[in-house]
Structure 1
Amino acid sequence: MASFSGYLPYAFALIIAIPFLVLFRQFVFTYIKLKEQEIKLLTVKSNTGNKAQSYERMTLFMERIKPSNLIQRFDKDLAVHEFIFLTEKTINEEFDYNSSQQLYISKNSWKNIVDSKNAVIDLLHKTYREINGNATLDEFKTVFIINFINGEDYINTTIEDLKREILIIA
C-alpha cells in the first residue's frame, strides 16, 4: 500500500493533465485544418485574380495593336520602312513581355491572340508591297487603315472572345 501512495501525486497530476492535453491536441489540429483551408481559399482567389489580370492585359495588348492605334505612334518624319520596322519591333516586344499570360488564358484564346498579332504584322508588309515602297508615311498609314477596315476584324473578334471567357471565369 505504501508503494501506491508514493505514486498518488503523479496519478492525480496525470488525471488533471490528460483533459488539458486532449483539448490542446484538438485545438492544434483544428487550427492546422483552418490554416490549410485559408491557404486553399487564398490560392483559389489568387488564381482567379491572375486569370482576370491576364485577360485584361491581353485585351489591352489587342487594343494597342489595332492599326488605328499603331499609326499614331512614332515620329511623322520616319520613312515608311522605318515605321514598319519600329511598329513590328514594338508589337513583338510587347507580345514577348506578355507571353507568360498564356498560362492563364485558354489555348483557343491564346491562338487567336497570336494569329491576330501575326495578321497585323502581315498586313503591314502586305500594304508595303502594295504601295511598292513609293508613298509617304501618311499615304502608307491611310492604305494600311483601309486594308484593315476592308478585311476581317480579327482583333475585335479576339477581344470579344476574351470578354466572353472572363465572364465565364468570374
Structure 2
Amino acid sequence: MDFQTLLPYFISLIPAIIVGVIAYLFFKKHTENEESRRNFLISKEAQATSLPLRLQAFERIALFLERIDPNSLLIRVKPRDSNLSNYETELINSIEKEFEHNLTQQIYLSAESWNAVKTSKNATIQLIRQTSMNEKVETSDKLREAILNHFMGNITPSQKALTLIKAEIVKLF
C-alpha cells in the first residue's frame, strides 16, 4: 500500500481526532469543576460545623480572662486568714486551675491569640508575686489593696488579651 491510498483514511480520521480532543478537554474541565464544587461544599459544611465550636472556645477564653482579671479574681478569691503567703498561693493556684481547665481551647484560637492569653495569665501571676514581695505588703488584705491600687485606672493584662480575642472574632465574620 502506498501513501496515496492511505491518504483518504488519514483525512477522514482528522475530524474524529479533533472531536476526540475537544471531548477530552470538555470532560476534563467538567471534572475539574465538579471536584472544585464538591470541595467548596465540603469546606462550607466544615465551616458551618466548626464555627460554633470556635465561637464557644472564644466564649470560654473570654470567661477565663474575666475570671483571672485581678479586679474580679480578688473579689472571687477571698483570703481565709491574714497570711500573705497562703493568699498569694491561693490566687496563683486559682489562675493555674482556670488555665488548665481551658487549655484545650487553644486549638480553636490563632497562635497570636493563644499567646496573648498565656501572656495575660503569666503577667497576672507575676504581678501577684511582685506585689507580695513588696515590704509594705504584710497581710493578705494589704496584698488585695496593693493589686487593686496598681490597676486603678490602668488596663489589666486580661483586658488587653480580651481586646485581641474580640478582634479575632470579628475576623471570623
TM-score by length of 1: 0.70
**Equivalent position amino acid for 1:67 in 2:** P
CA distance in 2, matches of 1:76, 1:122: 19
1:143 aligned onto 2:168: no
1:37-93 deviation digits (Å, cap 9, x = unpaired): 987654321211111111111111111111111111334432221111111111111
Greater shift, 123-132 or 37-46, is seen at: 37-46
Moved segments of 4+, more than 4 Å: 36-42
**Equivalent position amino acid for 2:90 in 1:** L
Taking only aligned residues, the RMSD between alpha carbons, in angstroms, comes to: 2.5
Number of residue-to-residue matches in the alignment? 136
CA distance in 1, matches of 2:79, 2:88: 12
- Contact map agreement 1:131 1:140 (CA 8 A) in 2: no
Counterpart position of 1:25:
none
- Contact map agreement 2:137 2:146 (CA 8 A) in 1: no
Counterpart position of 2:99:
95
- Contact map agreement 2:54 2:108 (CA 8 A) in 1: yes
CA separation of 1:153/1:74 partners in 2, compared to 1, >3 Å: closer, same or farther?
closer
Which consecutive residues of structure 1, in runs of 5 or more, have no partner in the other structure?
Answer: 1-35
Counterpart position of 2:159:
156
- Contact map agreement 1:70 1:87 (CA 8 A) in 2: yes
Percent identical among aligned pairs is: 26
TM-score by length of 2: 0.69
CA separation of 1:38/1:91 partners in 2, compared to 1, >3 Å: closer, same or farther?
same
Counterpart position of 1:81:
85
Which consecutive residues of structure 2, in runs of 5 or more, have no partner in the other structure?
Answer: 1-38
